[in-house]
Chains A and B, each alone.
Chain A
Amino acid sequence: MAGTSGFGPDQGHQGHQGHQGHQGHQGHQGHQGHQGHGGYDFDGAGIASALITSHDGLIGTFAPPPEPNHLALGDPAHLQRWSPQVRALMFDQELAARLVFDFTDPTATVSYLNVTGPALHPLVSMTRPTEATFAQQLPIVHNYSALRSDRANEILAQLPGPMAFLTPLSILRPDRTRWILELLGAVQRIVQYVQVRFKHALACRRPSEYSAQLMPMILTPGHGTLPSGHAGESFAMAYVLSALFDATAFDAAHKAQVRRLAFDIAARVAQNRIVAGVHFPVDNIAGATLGITLGDLAVRRMMAEEGAAAENVASWAFDGTAAPNADFDLHEMFDVAGATLQATAYLSTPSTNALSDLHSPILNYLWTQARGELS
């Protein structure tokens, strides 16, 4: 199972396969769930031969039964019937199918494919920084290396992503809040699908390609540096988790605290990647832009009821050539309390489109189930 391969000796792949591991992990936990019902095995050669003899001893004369209830076409409640891996494939397809890409040098864009209204709504476009911008940020990466011994545990534990660090914000565990974890997993994966296309198109070199002296403390991942995948995933998941809390009956102060901590966790995960020596600060700006935008889209799609009114969705443009020679500061580009990106020198909002085509029955079902787990 992919989930176990994530813990192999090849740490470089650990980060990446660790992501895949989440899909597999959920399936694995399914088994654990069964074992929770008394420690039974439900499958395997020994059980199979026992079931054969048991069948033979009990079957009696075969009598055709009446027809079972009819299951309605496309009822999202069917999701309850399927395995987590199957649901994951469906969520992924539903989220990814509407995203299209355009790569016109020097800018990469991901757009939402709208069936009604404007056909394409650009979500995020990214213009890559110059090599000089990256080179200017090398001293920051070097300076952050001073924290490696203090952050080593976190950095290693965060190789698969931020999931384990978000779960303590409530009691999120596979057997108790499986829908929330599946929801967060789906958000993590959709960011991965998008970010690898950006990383591929923009093809920005990693810090250790600029300077051999950085000597990262983990194997540098096998894809481009900008946008930071960890930043994108962490901010998307922080955004969605805090939106999920907002949709509950918890009091406002509690929601605000979850929101604040979720984004602080995301910022720390992103910062730790600089400490490790595998990212530039500007990668986190790009990653946060992408993650927050995709998280926002995911929330809108999950919350949209059938026939809901059109929603104004912004297009964000990240201009890497205007990126500051400075450390990553989330507060500069994002209002945490208001959960909105803010225009800066390197982040502009060119347009807003009214999107009326956001509803997805299965995503809405996922959202509703997940919200029900927070009580």
Chain B
Amino acid sequence: MTGEQEEVPDGDGGKIQWRRAEIPERFQAKGLDPAAWWLLGSGRQQFFPPEPPAPPQDDPVDPQYDQKQTSAGSTAEQATPGARRAPVRLPIMTTLLEEGARETLLKLLAEDSDQIFVPGFVRRSSESWPVAGQPFPMFLEEGQLQARPIIDLLASGQLRIKLSPPLPFTETGVDAPTVVTPVPEGSVITAVIDDGITVGHERFRLADGTSRVHHFWNMDPDVADAAAPFSLGREWSKGGPGGIDDFLAQATSGGHIDEDRFMRLAGMVDPARYRPGGEMRRLSHGTHVLDCAAGYPPEANAADRPIIAVQLPRLAVEDTTGATMEVYLSAALHYIRDRARAIAIASGGVPIPVVVNLSYGFTAGAHDGSSDMERLFDQFVDEANPPMQFTLSAGNGHLSRGYAVVPPPDPAPGPDYVLEWRVLPDDRTPTLMQLWLDEPVASGDRITVALETPGGETSTPLGEDPTAAQTLTLTGLPGAPEIASVRYAVDPASGRGYFELRLVPTAPLPETAPPHVLAPAGLWRVHVTIVDPAEVTAARPVRIWVQRDDSIPGYPLRGRQSFLEHPAHWDPTFAEYALAPVQPLPANAAIADDVPVRREFMLNALATGRRPLVIGAYENKRRFAEPYSAGGPHARPCWRSIALVDAADGPAHPGKLAAGTRSGSWAAMNGTSVATPRMAKLAANAIAAGWPVTQFTVRVAASLFDDRTLARGRTDLPPDRGGCGRLRLERTAPVARGVARET
């Protein structure tokens, strides 16, 4: 079987052809993220800027490295657009698996320290850095990633690397002086990793007008400022000259704190240099979330609820697939822990507990707690240095038709299944589907997968062969660029086999020049054939996720969410009006057991770990689990949210009010993004009151506090999405809040 097929017209006068593509050996190294083959190969045009013109020969020094040696003042020339191009660096998450490999890695880092960048606080975070088994963020140039010593470590199973697409970022290699301000005894730190956080807001201030935000790291490369250099983006501390309190004071006139002025002075907003984000809008995700998690009126003087805030890079936020996000998330986690330790030391040395809220998520992944980020969550909770807990959103994708199983719970006769995959036009981001199996078995292929274009061209079925892929190429264009691929790999983190189906965007980015390499929009078909019925059963099916690929409100419209079509998901009530395809079934309608496309397990792929508090949403008035609130599979109760928190007041007010971006303003938002930080606030107060806050205790609390009498049985929670019950904040919060206010 060669895999070569005939060329066929693609409808635009060109030709498309499925081909077999060998995967180079260096991309098959055991510990290397399988995505490297695509990211550094045919996918690179999606992320890498066009090749820059060759630099003049008399200037061999890379400006980026040169800049490190110079004083802060001389870096100003870098602001000149196009004058100098920073090298493209790949954000990677590295996990050292063997203690013995540390020497090799450190030697490599030392020899190449100018070219491997690790945020300084990560280096500082442990005496025996890097800590074996603990994922940590690094930024490598492409060539360095494929250097022989690294490949050897990867191939021998001593090192694991998870790869993210690169972002253009400015890196000065110098950490700004961090000013640590002590906190009162009994404090609990709340940390929020989000987007559009207005740290000057009154809900994050004390009565005297100073800030409760002790450290704010804006990772966005745009805010990098030569005057206040930080490894990646920029950090503001509460105290000291150029600190948050300093800028708040400078922006105060006649007792009024001008928050726009504060952000201008602090360099948190600068339309002369970059496009303003959520912090300049009326409602921003990050400010709303931080208020839910740690907002108090200034007169409450909640000095014992200090805040650490991290703004993610906007490009990573914009990319809802999460592919760009994980390295930055891990950096944020290390940063939060480092700063929390520093605050504890400055406050007398007693460890200060930290609650970290993450109201973000995506859908594709192993969903078994094995991913690097999930390991990091679990490790940080287990190490308890300082005591940490995480609140994670269950996700909002319950109705989005992004999950299927093969075979379905009640298998139809025969081994062949076809999934209809709707890919929308005007999608400016890649589209991805993953089909997850268990660990590979000796007997060989368990399934084969083939992908059929909307025009009916089907790839040669691919079995569990990690050495070759099926790629769909545009043969009419130079180099026959790839527009789709089917490949199989073993996930380095979980050891499980999975198939990955990738499409390039269906619409070009506006600034790109033709010829555009685009995938056709329309109905793609995924052919799954069960080869080994003993290994693939209804009890142990292939789990299939469509990756999240939508656009976030307030951001440029780029992604368009693909989904799986099946008539069983249409509401028959509307069939006669020809509205069926656009009218989904009511949230709790049952899907017949012979349908592969399920309405379950759209749980946030970051939220299947053993330790974090995974929070779904319910509506307060009617006590329904919100239709969007995602869950796990019926069969595995551990894979689901552990509790629901209300994220809406009722049908007439489908959201919760919390801070708008400027003091005195309020805005409503809903979603598990809102439920989760509300849980974070409760968790912080409970920890302050001396209660253990773990998955177990929160399950118990949700069971106890869930109001079953009011529910009266008519709003029984769905088993896959309801967690252990509805956590009634209005009942539990006053107890803990009273304790919190005693200090």
Contact = CB atoms under 8 A, between A and B. Distances in A.
A256 interface: yes
A312 interface: no
A28 interface: no
A331 B282 CA distance: 22
Interface in B629-684: none
A327 B256 contact: no
Interface in B241-266: 253-254, 256, 258, 261, 264
B418 interface: no
A260 B254 CA distance: 9
B271 A144 contact: yes
B271 A140 contact: yes
Contacts of B270: 327
Most chain A CB neighbours (cut-off 10 Å) among B271, B273, B280, B554? B271
A146 B264 contact: no
A117 interface: no
A139 B272 contact: yes
B512 to A, nearest CB: 15
Interface string A298-329: 00000000000000000000000000011101
Contact of A144 (B254, B276, B282): B276
B384 to A, nearest CB: 42
Interface in A140-186: 140, 142-147, 149-150
Interface string A54-83: 000000000000000000000000000000
Contacts of B264: 327, 329
A281 B272 CA distance: 10
Contacts of B282: 150
B303 to A, nearest CB: 27
A337 B271 contact: no
Nearest to B261: A331
Contact of A337 (B254, B273, B274, B277): B254
A336 interface: yes
Interface in B117-157: none
Most chain B CB neighbours (cut-off 10 Å) among A142, A150, A281? A150
Interface string A276-292: 00000100000000000
A325 B272 contact: yes
A143 B280 contact: no
Contacts of A256: 254
Nearest to A146: B275
A274 to B, nearest CB: 8
Interface in B596-623: none
Contacts of A142: 275
Nearest to A330: B261
Most chain B CB neighbours (cut-off 10 Å) among A143, A146, A147, A326? A146
A150 B554 contact: yes
Contacts of B277: 146
Nearest to B256: A260
A325 to B, nearest CB: 7
A146 B256 CA distance: 28
A143 B554 contact: no
A145 B275 CA distance: 8
Contacts of B554: 149-150
Contacts of B271: 140, 143-144, 327
Interface residues on A, range: 20 to 34
Nearest to A141: B271
B253 A146 contact: no
Interface string A119-144: 00000000000000000000110111
A147 B281 contact: yes
Contacts of A147: 276, 280-281
A169 to B, nearest CB: 15
B48 to A, nearest CB: 23
Contacts of A140: 271-272
Interface in A234-292: 256-257, 260, 264, 281
Contacts of A257: 256
Contact of B276 (A146, A260, A264, A329): A146
Given A144-B271, A327-B271, A336 B280 contact: no
A5 B540 CA distance: 71
A210 B130 CA distance: 52
Contacts of B254: 256, 260, 337
Interface string B504-547: 00000000000000000000000000000000000000000000
Contacts of A260: 253-254, 256
A236 B258 CA distance: 21
Nearest to B553: A149
A150 B281 contact: yes
A327 B281 contact: no
A143 B276 contact: yes
Contacts of A144: 271, 275-276
A149 B258 CA distance: 24
A150 B282 CA distance: 7
B256 A143 contact: no
A264 B254 CA distance: 14
Contacts of B276: 143-144, 146-147
Given A150-B281, A331-B261, A143 B253 contact: no
A305 to B, nearest CB: 30
Nearest to B253: A337
B361 to A, nearest CB: 24
Contacts of B273: 143
A143 B281 CA distance: 13
A325 B256 CA distance: 29
Contacts of B274: 143
Nearest to B555: A146
Interface string B268-308: 00111111110011100000000000000000000000000
A264 B281 CA distance: 16
Contact of B272 (A146, A326, A331): A326
A27 B273 CA distance: 47
Interface in B14-66: none
A149 B276 CA distance: 12
A111 B281 CA distance: 41
Contacts of A145: 275
Contacts of B258: 264
Contacts of A149: 554
B280 to A, nearest CB: 6
A337 B272 CA distance: 26
A143 B261 contact: no
Contacts of B275: 142-146
B452 to A, nearest CB: 38
Nearest to A324: B272
A138 to B, nearest CB: 11
A154 B515 CA distance: 41
B282 to A, nearest CB: 6
A336 B261 CA distance: 13
A68 B274 CA distance: 71
Interface string A328-364: 0101000011000000000000000000000000000
B233 to A, nearest CB: 18
A290 B281 CA distance: 29
Given A256-B254, A260-B253, 7 more contacts: A140-B272, A143-B271, A147-B280, A150-B281, A327-B272, A337-B253, A337-B254
Closest 10 CB pairs of A and B: A146-B275, A150-B281, A143-B275, A143-B271, A327-B272, A327-B271, A326-B272, A140-B272, A256-B254, A144-B271
Interface of B: 253-254, 256, 258, 261, 264, 270-277, 280-282, 554
23 contacts: A140-B271, A142-B275, A143-B274, A143-B276, A144-B271, A146-B275, A146-B276, A146-B277, A146-B280, A147-B280, A149-B554, A150-B280, A150-B554, A257-B256, A260-B256, A264-B258, A281-B272, A327-B264, A327-B271, A327-B272, A331-B261, A336-B253, A337-B254
